[in-house]
């Protein structure tokens, strides 16, 4: 369900500032009850020069920012406030807004959460990002493990900045290499292979070099081509990845390594819109294109040709992307930090 954008104007901005103040206060634990909320609402409304009364406007917000927000903030009051103020009821509805869509308010982007603490982008946001430290990269550097992070421009930030807990730069210049392969600047449906082969070439030589204890890479194809909704292009994108993953698998075999394959969400797995009964929706006599992320569970594959029964062959289920660091650390022979989410392996 898409919400109309808030109209530009001083009144709207004033209200936005008030909400930002209020929600930041809640996110930081300064407020805890609905009564506090009402009092603070009036106070911050006055402080920000707003009227203190809701205009009933609705905002269109970044779907991914909201999901990040929902998965990282557990404060019930904050969520309730969002639901009442902005008419949000669930992440699934927001998914229909598509990828990284943000609302423009007087030339500034608005998201639920600040997503770049270095450039303070976007200029308008409602919740401070959670502080993330002691990430896997930091632990592995402290443990002397050489690491490579590689992707093409489209997902380079995902294997570096986001992977490191919204942190710019390396933990250790001597132990880490980051490689960005420049993405093509053409519509994704016209280059569905993207830079997968180039990433694969670089990864295979990195594996063969024996230099790295851990290599993390991201193929952008499944997500970026998936967003186009062009079925034929998606077929090419996914077949490209089949070839690339096979090539990497052979390099892993030769090096005696382990490969973990997963994703943070689906996209190319679900290319048509469905109605509530699960039937494909039709549009002008054709299946209606789906251009947003799918909600299907994401598989996790641990390819371990040198498996010697160190863990049970069945992986744990029902876990999420946050289980990958502990999984990789266990495969590297470390005991993961106690406050990490459980890995997918049942270690013996």
Select from 222-230, 275-283, 295-303, 307-315 the region that touches Zn ion (CB under 5 A): 222-230
On whether the CB atoms of residues 6 and 103 are closer than 8 A, the answer is: yes
Buried b (16+ CB within 10 A) or exposed e, 63-82: bbbbbbbbeebebebbeebb
Return the number of the residue (77 or 93) whose C-beta is nearest Zn ion: 93
Task: Work out the number of other CB atoms within 10 angstroms of the CB of residue 85.
Answer: 19
In the sheet with 214-218, reading across from the earlier edge strand, the strands are 176-181, 147-152, 214-218
Tell me if 289 contacts Zn ion by CB under 5 A.
no
Q: Which residue is nearest to Zn ion (CB)?
A: 99
Q: How far is the CB of 235 from Zn ion (least distance, A)?
A: 18
Return the number of the residue (79 or 99) whose C-beta is nearest Zn ion: 99
Q: What span, in angstroms and rounded, lies between the C-alpha atoms of 166 and 157?
A: 9
On whether the CB atoms of residues 311 and 278 are closer than 8 A, the answer is: no
Identify the CA nearest to 314 among candidates 279, 348, 263: 348
Return the number of the residue (189 or 223) whose C-beta is nearest Zn ion: 223
Tell me if 223 contacts Zn ion by CB under 5 A.
yes
Return the number of the residue (98 or 117) whose C-beta is nearest Zn ion: 98
Q: How far is the CB of 223 from Zn ion (least distance, A)?
A: 4
> Is the torsion defined by CA of 342, 345, 346, 348 positive or negative?
negative
Select from 76-84, 93-101, 145-153, 338-346 the region that touches Zn ion (CB under 5 A): 93-101
**Binding residues for Zn ion, total number by CB under 5 A:** 2
Q: What span, in angstroms and rounded, lies between the C-alpha atoms of 114 and 193?
A: 32
Select from 2-10, 17-25, 91-99, 191-199 the region that touches Zn ion (CB under 5 A): 91-99
Tell me if 99 contacts Zn ion by CB under 5 A.
yes
Q: What span, in angstroms and rounded, lies between the C-alpha atoms of 225 and 290?
A: 12
Return the number of the residue (70 or 172) whose C-beta is nearest Zn ion: 70
Select from 105-113, 186-194, 216-224, 305-313 the region that touches Zn ion (CB under 5 A): 216-224
Structure tokens at 113: 């959460």
Which of left, alpha, beta for 72 (phi over 0: left; psi -120 to 50: alpha)?
alpha
Select from 220-228, 230-238, 294-302, 327-335 the region that touches Zn ion (CB under 5 A): 220-228
Q: How far is the CB of 156 from Zn ion (least distance, A)?
A: 15
On whether the CB atoms of residues 131 and 114 are closer than 8 A, the answer is: no
Return the number of the residue (223 or 273) whose C-beta is nearest Zn ion: 223
Tell me if 237 contacts Zn ion by CB under 5 A.
no
Select from 32-40, 223-231, 310-318, 332-340 the region that touches Zn ion (CB under 5 A): 223-231
Return the number of the residue (98 or 213) whose C-beta is nearest Zn ion: 98
Q: How far is the CB of 226 from Zn ion (least distance, A)?
A: 7
Q: What is the CA radius of gyration of the chain?
A: 22
Instruction: State the residues that interact with Zn ion by CB under 5 A.
Output: 99, 223
């Amino acid at each position: 369900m898409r919400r109309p954008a808030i109209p530009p104007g001083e009144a709207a901005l004033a209200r936005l500032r008030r909400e930002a103040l209020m929600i930041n206060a809640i996110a930081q634990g300064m407020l805890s009850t609905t009564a506090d909320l009402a009092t603070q609402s009036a106070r911050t409304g006055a402080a920000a020069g707003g009227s203190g009364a809701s205009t009933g406007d609705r905002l269109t917000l970044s779907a991914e920012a909201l999901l990040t927000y929902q998965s990282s903030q557990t404060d019930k009051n904050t969520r309730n406030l969002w639901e009442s103020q902005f008419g949000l009821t669930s992440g699934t509805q927001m998914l229909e807004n598509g990828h990284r869509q943000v609302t423009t308010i007087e030339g500034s982007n608005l998201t639920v959460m600040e997503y770049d603490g270095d450039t303070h982008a976007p200029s308008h946001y409602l919740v401070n990002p959670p502080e993330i430290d002691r990430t896997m990269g930091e632990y592995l550097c402290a443990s002397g493990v050489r690491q490579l992070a590689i992707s093409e421009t489209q997902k380079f930030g995902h294997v570096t900045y986001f992977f490191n807990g919204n942190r710019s730069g390396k933990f250790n210049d001597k132990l880490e290499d980051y490689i960005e392969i420049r993405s093509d600047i053409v519509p994704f449906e016209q280059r569905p292979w993207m830079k997968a082969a180039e990433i694969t070439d670089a990864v295979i030589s990195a594996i063969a070099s024996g230099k790295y204890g851990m290599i993390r890479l991201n193929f952008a194809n499944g997500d970026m081509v998936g967003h186009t909704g062009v079925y034929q292009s998606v077929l090419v994108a996914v077949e490209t990845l089949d070839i690339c993953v096979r090539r990497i698998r052979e390099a892993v075999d030769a090096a005696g390594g382990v490969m973990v394959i997963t994703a943070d969400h689906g996209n190319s797995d679900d290319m048509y819109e469905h109605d509530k009964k699960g039937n494909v929706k039709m549009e002008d006599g054709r299946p209606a294109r789906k251009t947003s992320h799918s909600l299907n569970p994401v598989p996790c594959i641990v390819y371990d040709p040198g498996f010697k029964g160190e863990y049970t062959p069945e992986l744990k289920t029902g876990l999420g992307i946050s289980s990958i660091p502990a999984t990789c650390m266990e495969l590297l022979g470390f005991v993961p930090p106690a406050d990490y989410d459980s890995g997918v392996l049942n270690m013996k």
